[in-house]
Structure 1
Amino acid sequence: MVRGARGRDADAMQTVRPFVSFDAAADPEQVRAGEVARLRTAATFLWLAMTPGFAFVRQRSNFILGWPGAGSLGSWMMLPDLTSPQTQTVLPMNDALYGAAHLELDLQGPFVVRLPPDTHGRYYSVSVMDAHFTNVAHLGPRWSGREEVEVFLVPPGWAGEVSPGMRVVEAPTPSVCLLNRVLVTAADGDLDRVRDWRSGFTLTPLDPAPAAADDHDLAHEGLATLTDPWRFLEIGYDHLRRNVLPEPARWAVQLVPESEVLAARGQEWSRRAVQDGIRDAQTMVDASLTTWPRENGWMLPQPWMGLPNPHVLETAALELFQVGFNDMTEATYFFGDLDEDGKRLDGTEGASYALTFSPGELPPVHAEGFWSVTMYGADNLLVANPAGRYSTRPAHPGFHVDPDGAVTIVLSASAPDGEDGPNWLPAPDGPFRLGLRLYYPTDAVLAGSWVPPAPGRVR
């Protein structure tokens, strides 16, 4: 029996051609198999490379088609309230008000971005992102100070005149997105103060009568539920014609010409090759998120996240996991769903966990920043609870820090021993995930020498 098994292995090895050989006289069946493999592989990486841009188009479409609070392109959409369990955006933060704007710089021309002076010493950020959600620039206290901010945002290759002393940000793509977040403290009336302060955020076009960019077929309905691979490719290619990928990722759309990919729909064998390649990509994304590098149960951020990079698989996975990642210098995210024993975090049947930061091991952030922990259910949305608490951080009134500087946050569906203060983060009666966010993290985080501790089960 052993000899038979070894014989089968030997037979299998004989089917593998030496890697230095080739056959310049392949028969038609072999040629077709090679063409199928080429198209399938190209479609896989094409879908991955297009996914961040598709996410951008989907968000812009929602903006144009009537997101609550959204206006026209070139204007701010300011959400008036903190996120809640009714918020359908996955993995939202709950410590700041969100805002966004979409600009089409080739159609509307350059814009002046103005932010009023910050007189309250709070964290805020305006991130300029290109048409693939790659970070271009950040405005905020650590980068631009607390005085009035005035930045001239221009399209690629723009060569006009600029007022002396004005900072110029040249976007690498004509389509850009500005995402803002402004920290809301627990002080009475602070939500209204933030609303009032954000009303001073302005976007002023250089051209007083810019083109009506909304008329340029920039919005598409039904993208959140789109399953047609050919429609995805058409939208993706259309987006790329105006908005090139960051240079390190361009290889993934250059494997096969656009004309050949779209023409593949015309024949059964080539149509199937492209569709199979896209299914391969989706399978690869799922596997990438499942096997993402972890430590202490937390998914580890990577230094290339949010920046131009060649990692099209991982970047696509991140954009599907949470749209619009900041780069690590602005904000570093840790997401975790495992305890110290590698078991799934689960609040069923009264289970309770403790997330304990030892003395001197609190999440390290610069003075202008902050850190917080947010609770999510299995659906990656905020968890409804009687306390109305969806995240916690040391600045919350009543947050307890031990005399030696240690901090413990209890994670459970019911309040521990009747204590419902901010050291308790209510969990669902089921599986959950944590999000630890560090805004303006220190070098220890950026270098990977600091990672969060694993939650330990205490009941």
Structure 2
Amino acid sequence: MDAQTLKQQIAEAHQKSQGDEGYWLGMTAFRYGFPLLEMHRSLWEWHVDTSAPTHLGAINEIHHTPRRAEPKDTYFVTPIVDAPYSRTFVDLSAGAVILSVPPVTDRYFTVQLLDMYTNSFGYVGTRLGDTVGGDYLLTGPGWRGTVPEGITRVLTAPTPTLCLLARVTILDDDVAAAVALQKQIALRPADPATPKPDPTTNPPALNWREKDGDPLDFYRALADCLSASPPPAADAGVLGLLARIGVAPHRPFDPEALHPAALDGLRRAIADGLHDLYADMPFAGPSRNGWVMVDVDTIGDWGTDYFSRLEIAQIGLLANSAKEAYYIGAILDGDGNPLSGEHRYEIRFGPDDFPPVDAFWSVTMYLNPQGFLVENPIGRYHLGSLTKDLVYGADGSLTLYLQRENPGPGKEANWLPTTEAGVLFRLILRQYLPTADILTGRYAPPAVVRVDG
């Protein structure tokens, strides 16, 4: 082998290694960073971009939706229908904020607090005995102020900005009663002199999702978001890997510093990451009776389980911790076939088969993979323990009918309309305040059974 050939082979091997390493590190960045970017994108759309269909208004003010979720609501995927939402992002960089909640004694309610890495770090609500109403102090990392008088509890966010999501359940279809309580959940600065926060100081994390956008914008946005939302110490290992491609807090991403083959690998990683996320990953994991179970020890408190955090960010960005609510999903029937609108299905809960919960349970229908509610002629998107007028069997059993057409007299009350023929759907079984039987895996719901042959 002459020297020129050897030199060429070495150059080709180097280029391949650069491309392979760029791809691997790019996939690592995508799996780690996607949930963080989705949180910052949501903040921007809720509080900055007035043209966004999901725009709410001012940051640090709770925005109440005075109705159940509907198919037109796309502010996040797999919305709950059992309760109207109240939501906002809260910027704590200028000072602490007081959360006020009313007495809620006749129904389940929760105020969920998430950091920008989608960890549910704090709650106020029924589970914690917060039924008499009160004030709660929300503080950012490193806060050293004085706790005002009358504060029930201090909740410290791991990141300077948090997301607040409140749910007050609807009983007996009385939406107005739930809304009246919902509107009493409010925020105010602990110090009235605190200046109003400017949400435009948060990175938008938008460009990389545009149809004709540059995939490298993902890495630019990730570096910006890491600066705005400092990562936890436990992430030091993965941050060391990301630094090898120039993604780090307080350092703009510079593609000019990387080998062209590495940049090609980074671009391929974003394309493949998105494909895997929307085509292959939803509801990956062990299943029982066709329902995919998630890890009760990590959901909502992710630690370094970045893969699970990524998966849940796609199917339910603002997931609760399992002790508050345990969600499981189905995209397949009990025989392993995709759920689709041209077929008829049943879910039969025997007298002893109902989810063992201390609050409520419900089954909700969504488009698959989009995760939005399914439009249907009767405006019904879920059924569950809070649903009025369900028809139970003489033995106490309950059969839910999942199909596009009305199942007929005697069954309509238990009918959950599906998608059109050929359109896939998914189901989410919500189990609020799950008991030990659920959290330890002793309970599994009945399968979704196809009944049209």
Instruction: State TM-score, norm by structure 2.
Output: 0.87
Are the structure 2 counterparts of residues 284 and 312 from structure 1 closer, same or farther at C-alpha, using a change threshold of 3 Å? farther
Are the structure 2 counterparts of residues 36 and 205 from structure 1 closer, same or farther at C-alpha, using a change threshold of 3 Å? same
Pairwise CA distance, 1:93: 1.7
Pairwise CA distance, 1:311: 2.1
Larger radius of gyration: 1
One of 176, 183, 194 as aligned partner of 2:169: 183
Match of 2:82 in 1: 95
Match of 1:228 in 2: 214
Check conservation: 2:203, 2:228, Cα contact below 8 A.
Answer: no
**How far apart in 2 are the matches of 1:215 and 1:384?**
34
Check conservation: 1:70, 1:78, Cα contact below 8 A.
Answer: no
Pair 1:380-2:377 in alignment: no
**How far apart in 2 are the matches of 1:377 and 1:27?**
50
Q: One-letter code of the match for 1:149?
A: G
Check conservation: 1:249, 1:308, Cα contact below 8 A.
Answer: no
Q: One-letter code of the match for 1:175?
A: T
Match of 1:150 in 2: 135
Matches within 5 A, 1:203-282: 203-214=187-198, 216-218=200-202, 220=204, 222=206, 225=210, 227-257=213-243, 260-261=246-247, 262-265=253-256, 267-282=259-274
**How far apart in 2 are the matches of 1:45 and 1:110?**
35
Deviations 1:237-260 (A, max 9, x none): 111113233444442232142773
**How far apart in 1 are the matches of 2:425 and 2:11?**
53
Match of 2:391 in 1: 400
Check conservation: 1:299, 1:335, Cα contact below 8 A.
Answer: yes
- Greater shift, 255-264 or 425-434, is seen at 255-264
* SS at structure 1 position matched to 2:282: helix
Instruction: Extract unaligned runs of 5+ from structure 2.
Output: 1-8, 248-252
* SS at structure 2 position matched to 1:80: coil
* SS at structure 2 position matched to 1:42: helix
Q: One-letter code of the match for 2:131?
A: R
Check conservation: 1:69, 1:78, Cα contact below 8 A.
Answer: no
Would you say how many aligned residue pairs link Structure 1 and Structure 2? 426
Pairwise CA distance, 1:346: 2.4
**How far apart in 2 are the matches of 1:228 and 1:127?**
35
**How far apart in 1 are the matches of 2:398 and 2:271?**
45
Check conservation: 2:202, 2:228, Cα contact below 8 A.
Answer: no
Match of 2:314 in 1: 320
Are the structure 2 counterparts of residues 220 and 242 from structure 1 closer, same or farther at C-alpha, using a change threshold of 3 Å? closer
**How far apart in 1 are the matches of 2:273 and 2:339?**
28
Pairwise CA distance, 1:70: 2.0
Check conservation: 2:363, 2:384, Cα contact below 8 A.
Answer: yes
**How far apart in 1 are the matches of 2:246 and 2:329?**
40
Pairwise CA distance, 1:180: 0.9
* SS at structure 2 position matched to 1:274: helix
- Greater shift, 434-443 or 392-401, is seen at 392-401
Match of 2:334 in 1: 340
Q: One-letter code of the match for 1:105?
A: L
**How far apart in 2 are the matches of 1:128 and 1:202?**
14
**How far apart in 2 are the matches of 1:404 and 1:232?**
56
**How far apart in 2 are the matches of 1:68 and 1:260?**
33
Deviations 1:318-369 (A, max 9, x none): 2122211111111111111222211122231xx3211011221201101xx1
Check conservation: 1:72, 1:214, Cα contact below 8 A.
Answer: no
**How far apart in 2 are the matches of 1:211 and 1:163?**
18
- Greater shift, 260-269 or 339-348, is seen at 260-269
Instruction: Extract unaligned runs of 5+ from structure 1.
Output: 1-25
Match of 2:44 in 1: 61
Deviations 1:140-178 (A, max 9, x none): 111133101321111111122214663111111111010
Pairwise CA distance, 1:386: 2.6
Check conservation: 2:20, 2:265, Cα contact below 8 A.
Answer: yes
One of 25, 28, 49 as aligned partner of 1:45: 28
- Greater shift, 173-182 or 384-393, is seen at 384-393
Report which of the two has the higher share of helix: 1
* SS at structure 1 position matched to 2:198: helix
Q: One-letter code of the match for 1:241?
A: S
Check conservation: 1:398, 1:421, Cα contact below 8 A.
Answer: no
Pair 1:114-2:100 in alignment: yes
Pairwise CA distance, 1:29: 4.6
Match of 2:250 in 1: none
Are the structure 2 counterparts of residues 247 and 282 from structure 1 closer, same or farther at C-alpha, using a change threshold of 3 Å? farther
- Greater shift, 76-85 or 372-381, is seen at 372-381
Are the structure 2 counterparts of residues 382 and 282 from structure 1 closer, same or farther at C-alpha, using a change threshold of 3 Å? closer
Are the structure 2 counterparts of residues 68 and 52 from structure 1 closer, same or farther at C-alpha, using a change threshold of 3 Å? closer
Q: One-letter code of the match for 1:414?
A: E
Match of 2:186 in 1: 202
Match of 1:444 in 2: 437
Match of 1:296 in 2: 289
Q: For the aligned residues, what is the CA RMSD?
A: 2.4
* SS at structure 2 position matched to 1:334: strand
Pairwise CA distance, 1:265: 4.3
Matches within 5 A, 1:7-46: 27=10, 29-46=12-29
Q: One-letter code of the match for 2:144?
A: A
Match of 1:71 in 2: 57
Check conservation: 1:247, 1:308, Cα contact below 8 A.
Answer: no
Pair 1:413-2:396 in alignment: no
